[in-house]
Chains A and B, each alone.
Chain A
């Protein structure tokens, strides 16, 4: 019967589609030049962070008193600080800290956002209302206030910074995941999954999670820039990474500020590194958002893209 005709109408060769992430990467390179530049900046940051030991000409805490406040020269390409430490080396080691904070912070952010967002969005009803009121309460506090309070209790340190930034922004980003889950919840394929007898856990992991991957990737990329910037803020205020470990934010404050007039390079280079990296990550994040979620195209803020979206969703909730 119909089988013969169905079989012969197929002339298209079977080809395996490139996996989701490969496809995304190819589209990024093809369609988003600025995003690609951002991606290159991010890759350079990561390579610098990973190979800091090899790349840095000096140790990050190697003090040469004779070179105190020396301007950029052949010995110290970017100059030296008030203790005679090579600024280039400190910037390179600072990249490692930024990488840790950016990656680990965003990973925690995304993990918490996904967990809260999936549960709240999928189960809905009383579960959703209860969870969302806690999230509302959290959103009422200015984030810097929360960071400073918790850091004052925990004390400065890399792990503490990552945990505080990750958990705090995770709770904030959960709104975005939740709305994405609610957006796909009415799809018939979820009812189909229920009709075949799939357990909730399976519906969540196999049917909902893959379909909200786009906003999750966007949250991850955009959060990374925010994390690095907020870590710098905390370090600048003295609540972040304790000296002598070099953090770009920490290098800007303290001695960087004190010697700004005699040795402007002390504040210039970390500031520049921070600006370039955060700009690059945000460009990458914007490009990702455009590629993955055409509905959000354009208009949204830079490093706070995720947060700026909040009021709209609040009014919907």
Chain B
């Protein structure tokens, strides 16, 4: 899949977390958080990554940023494999890829001022000297619609939305080309969500950023993403243009997910059919055979139980992993 305008290529990414037991910490099983996942992100696009809790969305993002060392597979950044980088080389590579966290409360060091939090990445990467970043910090704070005079405050003096803006400013300070947004708005209330989303979209245009936007809120993802990846239990289910995916979901899981999105029109909402999924997400320690989704799928058949489905092209850039389409 190595392409010309791809910024990120994820190839057969596998991330197993060992489950250990006993005094000797013997490995007894693996949590198969991400199991053979491949996709790419084009320069300048926003790729949405959706799925239920525990489906490996966040792990995928962390693996791309090399915060977890992937068990197997490759992550190519502009054609260079990040998984082979270590130590100083990896540290330098981090300048180009940043992370915006889900929890705006836990992700800021309570003992550092806002200015130091935003300025630190620049110091770490030698862009400015320690303590000489006042001007740059002011500019960054303005960029995320905070006021430069707030730089002397500590994180607890900010509201949730403002803290998230600080997190965004911190990510932007080293002028990265790629940002993983790990559920950046799910901890915020709805009105603030809209502000942060439009801020992210504006910054994308101004700074030519590429986003991997991880979320479980499908309407938010639709709003911001060019393409969307649907994950279930460590596997890719469907990839498509976001308009295409929302208009014409092919995978039964995607259909069920989309049918759960509330529609702000009671007339329409009453008429549509909701697909209720029964049962819980199976344990990623011991995932179902064949298609991981088959125990909860309405259209399941023998082949679903036995064979793992491959990604099939069903339309323009629309890929689905399902035997039944």
Contacts and interface: CB of A to CB of B under 8 A. Distances in A.
Contact of A2 (B107, B174, B195): B195
Interface string A1-45: 111001100100010110000000000000000000000000000
Given A197-B91, A199-B91, A189 B106 contact: yes
Nearest to A191: B67
B26 interface: no
Contacts of B167: 192
Say what secondary structure dominates the interface of chain A.
helix
A127 interface: no
Interface string B129-171: 0000000000000000111011011100000001000010010
B152 to A, nearest CB: 6
A75 interface: no
Interface string A43-77: 00000000000000000000000000000000000
Nearest to A208: B109
B233 to A, nearest CB: 24
B288 to A, nearest CB: 31
Chain A: number of interface residues, binned into ranges: 20 to 34
Contacts of B154: 17
A16 B120 contact: no
Contacts of A211: 109-111
A189 B120 CA distance: 12
B219 interface: no
Given A195-B99, A197-B125, A198-B120, A207 B109 contact: yes
Contact of B170 (A10, A14, A191, A192): A192
A197 B106 contact: no
Contacts of B195: 2, 6
B110 A196 contact: no
Contacts of B170: 192, 196
B75 interface: no
B101 A188 contact: yes
A187 interface: yes
B152 A14 contact: yes
A198 B95 CA distance: 10
Contacts of B150: 14
A297 interface: no
Contact of A192 (B91, B92, B95, B101): B101
B94 interface: yes
A141 B170 CA distance: 49
B100 to A, nearest CB: 10
B99 A192 contact: yes
Nearest to B165: A6
A311 interface: no
B29 interface: no
B234 interface: no
A3 B120 contact: no
A197 B145 contact: no
B198 A2 contact: yes
Nearest to B151: A14
Interface string A86-110: 0000000000000000000000000
A273 interface: no
Nearest to B198: A1
Contacts of A196: 94, 98, 120-121, 124, 170, 174
A234 B277 CA distance: 73
5 contacts: A7-B147, A14-B150, A198-B120, A207-B112, A210-B109
Interface of A: 1-3, 6-7, 10, 14, 16-17, 187-189, 191-199, 202, 206-207, 210-211, 213
Interface of B: 65, 67, 91-92, 94-95, 98-99, 101, 103, 106-112, 120-121, 124-125, 145-147, 149-150, 152-154, 162, 167, 170, 174, 195, 198-199, 202
Given A192-B109, A192-B170, A198-B120, 19 more contacts: A1-B198, A1-B202, A2-B199, A3-B145, A6-B162, A7-B147, A14-B149, A188-B101, A188-B103, A188-B106, A192-B99, A195-B65, A196-B121, A196-B170, A197-B94, A198-B124, A199-B91, A210-B112, A211-B110
A-B pairs with lowest CB-CB distance, top 5: A197-B94, A210-B111, A196-B121, A188-B106, A3-B145
